[in-house]
């Protein structure tokens, strides 16, 4: 009995502590923990315990609130907000035009380099005063600068001689929520949708504000609230009231709301008989709808549209094309300054061309025909957010149309929210890829920031990994993917290394002994998952529908291009998809420099080998291994890398609280189990074709192929519910 009570009390404390940890995780990278280094703390106090904040706008008030929250916690003392400063030290936070004259001239040089919502942080010596100034042309810029200033403190930078000028390099820095109106999230692995439609508009969850703070802290300035597999109801007055409530909260954090527009909405909620974009009534319906939206959300960003893709309706249902559809909507939002973001994720069930080629084939002929407020949103690779893909050939090839990059932050094909995978490494690889479309150095980053072709509108979208889990993203390290996406949308030239370090210091610790090995672990984690899921260019060999776990054997789905066997094409002779001129010739969609290199299995980067080539099992790689052995060894390497991650994490115990340690450690154990599952299932399956033994160094599977094939997961998270 006594033992039982003890156990209950223990459980209670355990839960409280676990909860405490999760509440800490809730704060994301905005934890603002006390600075323990006494020298640093003294210098920060000197700079920032007296503050003057311009209070003329809601965004400046947000900056003030953030300082009021962060500084007392970090400095361990009270701070004073003053209306002006005569002498002594102070932090001055205001838009440039409101600064006192002497301060204005002290930062005027830096201000000349500020663009849009960029900002300046500068230490300035004036008569009687030493001032640290956070300023910008816009109040939003000041808010961004404030977050950066606080981040520098969190990561223990010396601020005595501060001089930072930073500008966002892309215009639209956007999250795409694949959130449904029933609060399920397509490909969501962190709970339900944040948007509590039933309680909106009256009930304003603190989460909406914290979501906005987190986004603003990295410069995210747009959010598409609803799934691209859209429900027209979001455009009805009842829901628009709720959208307004969210937009009202987000506005002062600089976040514009976009909605996904179901192409058939004029019929479904408008009572029309057609949604033909060339029909005058349909055009008028969209114009009226847009007017209605802007009347209640004056800064509405515009529409995000998935049309004629995976069963979604679109202009082709009426014999029209993407330009007809996009321009009709663009015409409606244009007078209000809105945009249409039209997705290029298309592949047809009636076309047996290699799926990897279809979006390019379909969209290239329209280059130059879209209105100037249309952006075409292109996924990073030509298939679908695989652990590794070559960059999408539309980047660089589509010269007269602004392309907005679509990355997937949620880990549909990367272990859900269970696997620790640091995605900025993947994002960086794509952004740095050279398209060669305008000579060497024509990187994807230059395509999307508009510098290659001079596009006026630019942007980056990330499919959100955020949900109602206390820690927002399911895995504590998945927060780094939200953070990293935001940082790269702000500046696509930042390195994954820098971003990992920034995130770790703000989230976990500034101890070098912790930061260095964990940063290495993060940077290696993406290659690890490629190795244990899709090595050497294998792709889309996931189990059906939910994409949880391996399913290379799946061959019975409604469309050939949904079946894994379509992608790996394993047979007794070899494995891989021939996309060279002897096969689908997808390489012709790239610049000749790339095509030539990729067409030859000897010169193609090894990581893309089986994406572009079907090769014999005994094909000899440069290092002398035969293909079958190389595949097997890569799977093993992936498993070994996860084992190494576990060891690294274990060594970090002294720098972590018990629960901080435990939550990641438990997840890593699942990751190891699943990495082995991938290795064993895939190797047993491919072995039925290769008919070769596993090479030395590869662990023998302990279960049979039949066992792996028998696994079913009807309730795996993130599958789209059927309401339509």
CB of 310 to ligand GCV, least distance (A): 6
For ligand GCV, the binding residues in 650-669 under the rule CB under 6 A are none
Q: Which is nearer to ligand GCV, 25 or 186 (CB)?
A: 186
187 binds ligand GCV (CB under 6 A): yes
Q: Which of 545, 548, 464, 467 is nearest to 184 (CA)?
A: 467
120's tokens: 């300046």
Say how far apart CA 58 and CA 253 lie, in whole Å.
8
Q: What is the DSSP letter of 695?
A: P
691's tokens: 């008919």
Q: Which is nearer to ligand GCV, 526 or 547 (CB)?
A: 547
CB of 184 to ligand GCV, least distance (A): 12
CB of 77 to ligand GCV, least distance (A): 49
Q: Which is nearer to ligand GCV, 169 or 306 (CB)?
A: 306
**Dihedral pair phi/psi, residue 367, rounded to 5°:** -60, 125
Render 501-551 in DSSP notation, one character per residue: HHHHHHHT---HHHHHHHHHHHHHHHHHHHHHHSGGG----BPTTT--SB-
- With CB under 6 A as the contact rule, the residue among 228, 275, 489, 642 that binds ligand GCV is 228
Say how far apart CA 605 and CA 536 lie, in whole Å.
9
Q: Let me know if 361 is a catalytic residue.
A: no
Q: Which is nearer to ligand GCV, 310 or 331 (CB)?
A: 310
345 binds ligand GCV (CB under 6 A): yes
Say how far apart CA 188 and CA 197 lie, in whole Å.
17
Say how far apart CA 72 and CA 358 lie, in whole Å.
56
Q: What is the DSSP letter of 252?
A: T
Q: Which is nearer to ligand GCV, 197 or 345 (CB)?
A: 345
Beta strand spans in 179-287 (E)? 222-224, 256-260
- With CB under 6 A as the contact rule, the residue among 137, 213, 306, 505 that binds ligand GCV is 306
For ligand GCV, the binding residues in 364-423 under the rule CB under 6 A are 384, 412
Q: Which is nearer to ligand GCV, 258 or 508 (CB)?
A: 258
186 binds ligand GCV (CB under 6 A): yes
CB of 545 to ligand GCV, least distance (A): 9
Q: Let me know if 618 is a catalytic residue.
A: no
The single residue of 17, 205, 292, 310 carrying the catalytic annotation is 310
Partners of 615 in the beta sheet? 575
Q: Which is nearer to ligand GCV, 561 or 680 (CB)?
A: 561
Residue 340 CA to its chain's centroid (Å) = 20
For ligand GCV, the binding residues in 39-58 under the rule CB under 6 A are none
CB of 178 to ligand GCV, least distance (A): 5
CA atoms within 13 A on the CB side of 263: 29
Say how far apart CA 165 and CA 120 lie, in whole Å.
5
Angle (nearest 5°) at CA 348 between 346 and 350? 170
Partners of 159 in the beta sheet? none
178 binds ligand GCV (CB under 6 A): yes
561 binds ligand GCV (CB under 6 A): no
CB of 148 to ligand GCV, least distance (A): 32
Q: Let me know if 37 is a catalytic residue.
A: no
**Dihedral pair phi/psi, residue 696, rounded to 5°:** -55, 140
For ligand GCV, the binding residues in 680-699 under the rule CB under 6 A are none
The single residue of 268, 412, 502, 561 carrying the catalytic annotation is 412
CB of 187 to ligand GCV, least distance (A): 5
334 binds ligand GCV (CB under 6 A): no
Interface residues toward ligand GCV, by CB under 6 A: 178, 186-187, 228-229, 306, 310, 345, 384, 412
Q: Which residues are catalytic?
A: 310, 384, 412
């Amino acid at each position: 009995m006594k033992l039982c009570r003890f156990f209950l009390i223990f459980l209670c404390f355990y839960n409280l502590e676990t909860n405490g940890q999760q509440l800490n995780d809730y704060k994301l990278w905005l934890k603002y923990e006390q600075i323990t280094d006494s020298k640093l703390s003294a210098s920060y106090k000197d700079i920032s315990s007296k503050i003057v904040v311009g209070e003329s706008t809601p965004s400046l008030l947000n900056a003030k609130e953030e300082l009021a929250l962060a500084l007392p916690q970090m400095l361990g003392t009270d701070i004073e907000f003053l209306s002006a400063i005569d002498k002594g030290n102070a932090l001055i936070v205001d838009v440039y035009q409101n600064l006192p004259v002497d301060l204005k001239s002290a930062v005027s040089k830096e201000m000349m380099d500020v663009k849009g919502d960029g900002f300046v942080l500068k230490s300035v010596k004036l008569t009687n005063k030493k001032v640290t100034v956070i300023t910008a042309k816009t109040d939003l810029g000041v808010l961004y600068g404030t977050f950066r200033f606080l981040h520098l403190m969190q990561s223990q930078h010396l601020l005595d001689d501060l001089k930072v000028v930073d500008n966002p390099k892309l215009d639209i820095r956007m999250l795409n929520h694949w959130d449904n109106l029933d609060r399920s999230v397509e490909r969501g692995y962190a709970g339900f949708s944040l948007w509590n439609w039933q309680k909106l508009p009256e009930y304003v969850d603190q989460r909406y504000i914290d979501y906005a703070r987190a986004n603003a802290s990295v410069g995210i300035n747009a959010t598409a609230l609803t799934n691209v597999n859209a429900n027209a109801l979001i455009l009805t007055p009842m829901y628009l009231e709720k959208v307004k409530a969210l937009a009202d909260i987000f506005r002062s954090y600089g976040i514009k709301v976009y909605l996904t527009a179901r192409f058939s909405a004029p019929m479904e909620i408008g009572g029309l008989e057609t949604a033909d974009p060339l029909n005058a009534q349909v055009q008028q319906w969209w114009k009226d709808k847009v007017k209605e939206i802007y009347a209640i959300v004056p800064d509405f960003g515009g529409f995000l549209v998935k049309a004629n893709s995976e069963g979604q309706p679109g202009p082709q249902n009426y014999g029209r094309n993407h330009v007809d559809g996009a321009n009709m909507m663009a015409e409606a939002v244009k007078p209000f300054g809105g945009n249409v973001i039209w997705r290029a994720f298309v592949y047809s069930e009636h076309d047996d061309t290699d799926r990897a080629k279809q979006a390019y084939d379909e969209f290239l002929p329209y280059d130059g025909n879209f209105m100037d407020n249309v952006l075409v949103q292109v996924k990073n690779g030509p298939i679908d957010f695989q652990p590794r893909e070559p960059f999408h050939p539309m980047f660089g090839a589509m010269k007269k149309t602004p392309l907005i990059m679509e990355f997937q932050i949620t880990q549909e094909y990367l272990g859900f929210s269970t696997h620790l995978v640091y995605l900025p490494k993947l994002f960086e690889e794509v952004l740095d890829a050279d398209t060669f479309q305008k000579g060497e150095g024509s990187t994807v980053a230059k395509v999307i920031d508009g510098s290659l072709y001079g596009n006026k509108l630019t942007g980056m979208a990330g499919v959100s990994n955020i949900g109602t889990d206390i820690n927002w993203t399911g895995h504590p390290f998945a927060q780094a993917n939200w953070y990293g996406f935001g940082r790269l949308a702000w500046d696509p030239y930042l390195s994954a290394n820098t971003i990992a370090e920034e995130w770790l210091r703000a989230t976990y610790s500034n101890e070098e002994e912790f930061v260095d090995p964990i940063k290495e672990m993060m940077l290696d984690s993406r290659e690890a998952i490629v190795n244990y899921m899709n090595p050497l260019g294998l792709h889309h060999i996931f189990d059906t529908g939910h994409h949880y776990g391996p399913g290379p054997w799946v061959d019975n789905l409604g469309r050939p291009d949904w079946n894994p066997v379509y992608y790996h094409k394993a047979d007794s002779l070899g494995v891989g998809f021939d996309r060279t001129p002897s096969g689908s010739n997808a390489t012709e969609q790239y610049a000749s420099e790339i095509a030539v290199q990729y067409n030859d299995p000897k010169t193609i980067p090894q990581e893309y080998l089986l994406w572009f080539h079907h090769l014999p099992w005994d094909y000899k790689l440069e290092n002398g291994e035969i293909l079958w052995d190389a595949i097997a060894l890569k799977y093993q390497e992936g498993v070994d890398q996860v084992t190494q991650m576990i060891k690294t994490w274990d060594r970090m115990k002294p720098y972590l609280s018990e629960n901080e340690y435990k939550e990641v450690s438990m997840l890593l154990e699942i990751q190891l189990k699943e990495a082995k599952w991938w290795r064993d299932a895939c190797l047993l399956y491919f072995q039925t074709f290769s008919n070769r033994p596993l090479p030395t160094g590869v662990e023998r599977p302990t279960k049979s192929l039949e066992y792996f094939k028998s696994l079913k997961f009807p309730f795996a998270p993130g599958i789209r519910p059927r309401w339509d």
